[in-house]
Structure 1
């Protein structure tokens, strides 16, 4: 038995441990948990959880949402091992279950919409035995949770912290595709506690916990008067007796659904002793995350939170699709899991689309929606698929017809809500074009389009699970703040996706896409001409030298990016034309009409720019395509010497060469500038050796709005090309050549330098 920590030293010891650097903190905390008695662990456990997730302190907590494998691999692995499903913290959570000890959670930490449901008595039966009512005010004040539920609910609430608006590091990380340790843990927890396979083991397997005794029922006024619409729990799932764990499954027949030691037990209580963890995880993630009130919150949720919700949606699909193969008591929970998500996902996604900025980050919202409306991608058969996920197009089985009918509004109305947003995107950016491609390929699947057309004609208005689309929108209107224009986003009077009105709208939309594609083609042709003209002026030798050393100008990088866009947009146009029966000949016939002046003042409208110095700016005269062209004329210009280190460069050498270059430029900057502007032959040589002056431009958003900042960079020395691998390879080959021919490696370097000097002098002579 481990030595017990003296009680008088416990508090000071905990404070000392929590103030240590992360690696030492995790190590010492694991030792502290082992040394403390069960009662002492109960005393320090809530303080540790609050420290982890930044409750009443630093909102960053332990940095779960700011640590990635790229920016700190050691810290990433340390946190993942400590918080994993078989890690020390999860072991402590299960250790504390032995004596049914409860921890109090203030409901003010919960989302406001969720709190109002609890206060109004509309909470599902899962929370009936968790709520504590304050006797004087007759209101719910706290939730009584066991250790596992206490940790999980804090873990879920942590995602709602607007870290991207508090911490610059979080802002940078949440705007890229890097996976934080928090997102990795989300996927690990959901995959463990909501397994796809019926025979999956739910870890930890071995822990001592009997069925929890039920808590006293709340006051009668807080009891729901009728079964909550959004839960739809079957009677076989509701009427089972006592609950386990933190308000666990109220059915004696609901078990863990696995071939593990606990599932083979003939005792019903043994099943309940393990199944409640899956129910807790499902309820906390769905009820808290999907009740995030996007309309009333000051901060837009971060992209990593939306990615976490997508992980939840995908795992619930996996979990629900496993019901047909699961004959254990966990099957009942599998059957109701998808209906819990369905009740809230519509309002959540519509709110996101309504407020999300029109840039490539919209992809995270699009992927969330596409994941929900494609449950056939998340089945047991999909696990054996070896093709890339985005290209995976499984056939849509008839067993998903019920899902499509019940969620028809998710396909039709959200598509129509997204369409105007896609009409305002800038398609000179490849990621925006690819985003449209993702939408087009999903809605061009022949079997999906056939089902949507057939079900919309048969079931529209009477089989959405909410009686009608109008009834669902009305219900969603009641769940948001007054005055929110939901019906502007969803117009029920013209809600048919496959109608003549929608076909006309799609033709107008595809005309804009075709115009954007033609604009990109013109930009590509112009850029190719500029590159060809520059290469002709530089001569054959310099171009050959650049090819050998792998040097690539910014124009060539932009051209590679642009060259992928026209084909992607063409495929989008083809796909949408097939789906909505639009004649492409109409697009070719009308695509030049918007540019033809119909009145004498029309050219002024066509040349309109946000940078017009006149006092008569009228943005209502701009169509979305013109807006995107104005936006695409803004580009940041950066000194090539300060670009990020490339993969074909030696990092340490490039940094050293940059340091040497800066020293030379700082000391001899005026002399270098004088040589550069000379009109004689020495000036021509200087212009061959030095980097040309330029004006750096970048966007400053620190003041709350975008400002263009400029900085004039004079002629300068840049030794960075010597740090590239091709340059080092050439130097090495010259040394080998000198050694083999003359027995002196330095002679080879001297000959190489002489050849380069002669080349530069010839270039200067004919420049």
Structure 2
């Protein structure tokens, strides 16, 4: 090891290092860790953790939730190497376990529901040795954590920061499906510490695994913040039970509250030393993330947080499904892991669905729900299957019947809660149609539908995993009070998923979907006619050159997306009709019904549209279908130069050409605009070569509601067409032709340029 750093220089050196750019900061910290003693590292460790996650400072921290492989590949790779399970940071956390030092965490940094759990005395035994009770207030004040737990709990809490409402970069990243380094680390940590394979090696392997002698905890009474009738004090508080220390040592098993009879044997100590990290990771992720108070928080959680919860749910399924083959110390934790998630997931999902906006971002919530209710997709057999994920339909084995019965409410009531939201979606957007397809195909699984129908008949009224109907109502009201829309349907016949009222409701829903499909077909036909008419007016020569040198127009891109929607919606209708025994002929009969007579011309409101500028618009007469049709007329309009890079374009070349175009437009913008508006022949040529002015329109959701914003784009130069593969192939062909015929490639290029110039001049002359 290098020369030890003097203590008096340590604090100033750390401040200097933390102020450096990220790459330099990571490099200097690695050197600092080598030069410091274990005692010095203990002093600076909390400050580094707070800096990483932006505690009492910049909420972005080190940018773990804003760094993606697309926007910063070097930072992404460097952060992954530093924070990975085998990286220097994780080794440092395990190195600090040697001294069994503890770090204090103020409970004010924890979510309100999590703090309430600790204060009420109803927390699992896992937290018994972690909490510190204020002797004056008789309430939990801090948590004492070892280095590993201190880092992991801050890592988990970091996902709850509403960065998407604070930072525009985070908002842009969290609204798309880019994978941040934070999500990659979430997946890596969960996969490492909650392994699927029973004999998997948990990294890092080399660390202090000594077990402290069990220390009885003082029996201090907790003073709860609320006054419940009964306070459940963990057994470790009541009788000073044996709880092993966690300064690099294991804890009590799995939060189940039961201690193995061999808990005092040397083998049991070694087993606990191996399993305690998995226990910490499971408890912190489940107890903190699934206690996110969606109803009380001002901001919705970001999409990347919901994706992180989905990763957790999938990994817990993998972890729990390996219990039958596991005979190690992790077996007990595997058996209780799924029940820990089950206790919180219903209220979490209900809150999400109630508040989530009705757009294509609802897909992340849908995927979370579908992942939880399909545990058969997360087994060793499923992992080894080579079929694409969406096409894979594993058989539902009988061993999953218990899960379906215990979680029947997750299949039935969540579906009924989602259905009205899907009835208000705009199906002229392909992603919305695909969301409906995901929902339809999941419930169309024959094995699943048969099971749900059978279990609902057997367990309706007095089950869903509860002891009695009254207990079911109480538990649902306790776990999900806002909205109260489910409280009155829990034990009614209409709440059954496969009842006659639900069949009638599904028929009405499928009628709306059928109408939306017909509307999309009409839009496709109209758009095709418009494109064909425009191409006929432009003539054969211009169409030929447009296909060679010009990228797709906005109408052509829209048509390409529209063309996929009718078939997807048809498959959804077929699947739902099979699932809920709906006769498709009824939908056709509805479509052929005569339309209601239009109101007389003398009436005040002649057109039910949100675009009516008059003050007499009566929105109360709008039904959901008319509202959906009005919403479908609102589309974002994007500058063609700013469209996503297509598959027939060279990515790096398009970016270079865009950079050059922007430079030209910024430097000569006024001259370009002056040429474009001229009435002489030069103006006509300019209008052939330049992009026309336009008004961009986009939807802004930063304020919590959807606002349409506009921006005027002036005439401009755009060289993007030179980055398309057909153009490059044409240029290469004329270069080869010039070499073969005239012996000089440049001659072929000059001839091509001359032809294009003459064509442009002729177009300008006759325009």
**Among candidates 250, 253, 262, match of residue 252 of structure 2:** 250
Q: Would you say the 8 A contact 1:101–1:147 is kept in 2?
A: yes
1:549 is aligned to: 549
Question: Aligned pair in 2 of structure 1 residues 105, 662: CA closer, same or farther (>3 Å)?
Answer: closer
Give the TM-score taking structure 1 as reference length: 0.91
Unaligned runs of 5+ in 1: 255-264
1:569 is aligned to: 569
Question: Aligned pair in 2 of structure 1 residues 554, 227: CA closer, same or farther (>3 Å)?
Answer: same
Question: Aligned pair in 2 of structure 1 residues 198, 604: CA closer, same or farther (>3 Å)?
Answer: farther
In 1: Cα distance, 2:602 partner to 2:579 partner: 35
Q: Would you say the 8 A contact 1:240–1:251 is kept in 2?
A: no
1:329 is aligned to: 329
In 1: Cα distance, 2:232 partner to 2:392 partner: 35
In 2: Cα distance, 1:686 partner to 1:488 partner: 67
The CA deviation string for residues 733-767 of structure 1, in whole angstroms up to 9 with x for no partner, is 33433333233444333432333344345556766
In 2: Cα distance, 1:98 partner to 1:697 partner: 59
In the alignment, structure 1 residue 667 sits paired with structure 2 residue 671: yes
Question: Aligned pair in 2 of structure 1 residues 372, 716: CA closer, same or farther (>3 Å)?
Answer: closer
In 2: Cα distance, 1:582 partner to 1:176 partner: 36
2:298 match: secondary structure: coil
- 1:583-594 equivalent positions in 2, closer than 5 A: 583-593=583-593
In 2: Cα distance, 1:703 partner to 1:364 partner: 21
Residue 640 of structure 1, CA deviation: 2.9
Q: Would you say the 8 A contact 1:248–1:280 is kept in 2?
A: no
Question: Aligned pair in 2 of structure 1 residues 746, 97: CA closer, same or farther (>3 Å)?
Answer: closer
In 2: Cα distance, 1:377 partner to 1:591 partner: 39
- Mean CA deviation greater in 141-150 or 218-227: 218-227
The CA deviation string for residues 164-203 of structure 1, in whole angstroms up to 9 with x for no partner, is 1111111111111111111111111111111111110011
1:186 is aligned to: 186
- 1:160-175 equivalent positions in 2, closer than 5 A: 160-175=160-175
In 2: Cα distance, 1:688 partner to 1:398 partner: 68
1:326 match: secondary structure: coil
2:34 match: secondary structure: helix
The CA deviation string for residues 142-170 of structure 1, in whole angstroms up to 9 with x for no partner, is 11111111111111111111111111111
- Mean CA deviation greater in 483-492 or 722-731: 483-492
2:311 is aligned to: 311
Q: Would you say the 8 A contact 1:658–1:720 is kept in 2?
A: no
2:79 is aligned to: 79
Residue 121 of structure 1, CA deviation: 1.0
- Mean CA deviation greater in 415-424 or 59-68: 59-68
2:261 is aligned to: none
Give the TM-score taking structure 2 as reference length: 0.91
1:739 is aligned to: 739
2:541 match: secondary structure: helix
- 1:285-300 equivalent positions in 2, closer than 5 A: 285-300=285-300
In 1: Cα distance, 2:292 partner to 2:488 partner: 19
- 1:86-485 equivalent positions in 2, closer than 5 A: 86-214=86-214, 216-217=216-217, 219-222=219-222, 241-245=242-246, 248-250=250-252, 267-468=267-468, 471-479=471-479, 484-485=483-484
1:132 match: secondary structure: strand
RMSD: 3.1
2:486 is aligned to: 487
2:56 is aligned to: 56
The CA deviation string for residues 341-361 of structure 1, in whole angstroms up to 9 with x for no partner, is 101100000010000000000
Residue 725 of structure 1, CA deviation: 4.0
In the alignment, structure 1 residue 69 sits paired with structure 2 residue 69: yes
- Mean CA deviation greater in 579-588 or 326-335: 326-335
1:221 match: secondary structure: coil
Question: Aligned pair in 2 of structure 1 residues 43, 331: CA closer, same or farther (>3 Å)?
Answer: same
- Mean CA deviation greater in 441-450 or 91-100: 91-100
In 1: Cα distance, 2:145 partner to 2:306 partner: 27
- 1:594-633 equivalent positions in 2, closer than 5 A: 595-597=595-597, 607-633=607-633
1:597 match: secondary structure: coil
Residue 82 of structure 1, CA deviation: 1.1
Question: Aligned pair in 2 of structure 1 residues 690, 169: CA closer, same or farther (>3 Å)?
Answer: closer
Residue 31 of structure 1, CA deviation: 1.6
Question: Aligned pair in 2 of structure 1 residues 668, 42: CA closer, same or farther (>3 Å)?
Answer: closer
In 1: Cα distance, 2:527 partner to 2:541 partner: 22
In the alignment, structure 1 residue 637 sits paired with structure 2 residue 641: no
The CA deviation string for residues 294-321 of structure 1, in whole angstroms up to 9 with x for no partner, is 1111111111111111111111111110
Question: Aligned pair in 2 of structure 1 residues 542, 387: CA closer, same or farther (>3 Å)?
Answer: same
1:258 is aligned to: none
In 2: Cα distance, 1:434 partner to 1:229 partner: 47
1:140 match: secondary structure: strand
The CA deviation string for residues 481-532 of structure 1, in whole angstroms up to 9 with x for no partner, is 7x65253695542210000000000000000000000000000000000000
Residue 663 of structure 1, CA deviation: 5.0
Q: Would you say the 8 A contact 2:477–2:487 is kept in 1?
A: no
Q: Would you say the 8 A contact 1:230–1:340 is kept in 2?
A: no
In 1: Cα distance, 2:231 partner to 2:435 partner: 37
In 2: Cα distance, 1:204 partner to 1:719 partner: 52
1:217 match: secondary structure: coil
Question: Aligned pair in 2 of structure 1 residues 710, 439: CA closer, same or farther (>3 Å)?
Answer: closer
Q: Would you say the 8 A contact 1:416–1:497 is kept in 2?
A: yes
2:525 is aligned to: 525
Question: Aligned pair in 2 of structure 1 residues 400, 726: CA closer, same or farther (>3 Å)?
Answer: same
- Mean CA deviation greater in 207-216 or 103-112: 207-216
Question: Aligned pair in 2 of structure 1 residues 99, 686: CA closer, same or farther (>3 Å)?
Answer: closer
Question: Aligned pair in 2 of structure 1 residues 586, 187: CA closer, same or farther (>3 Å)?
Answer: same
2:611 match: secondary structure: coil
In 1: Cα distance, 2:12 partner to 2:686 partner: 68
Q: Would you say the 8 A contact 1:193–1:277 is kept in 2?
A: yes
- 1:718-737 equivalent positions in 2, closer than 5 A: 718-737=718-737
2:132 match: secondary structure: strand
In 2: Cα distance, 1:459 partner to 1:575 partner: 25
The CA deviation string for residues 368-397 of structure 1, in whole angstroms up to 9 with x for no partner, is 000000000111111111111111110000
- 1:671-686 equivalent positions in 2, closer than 5 A: 671-675=675-679
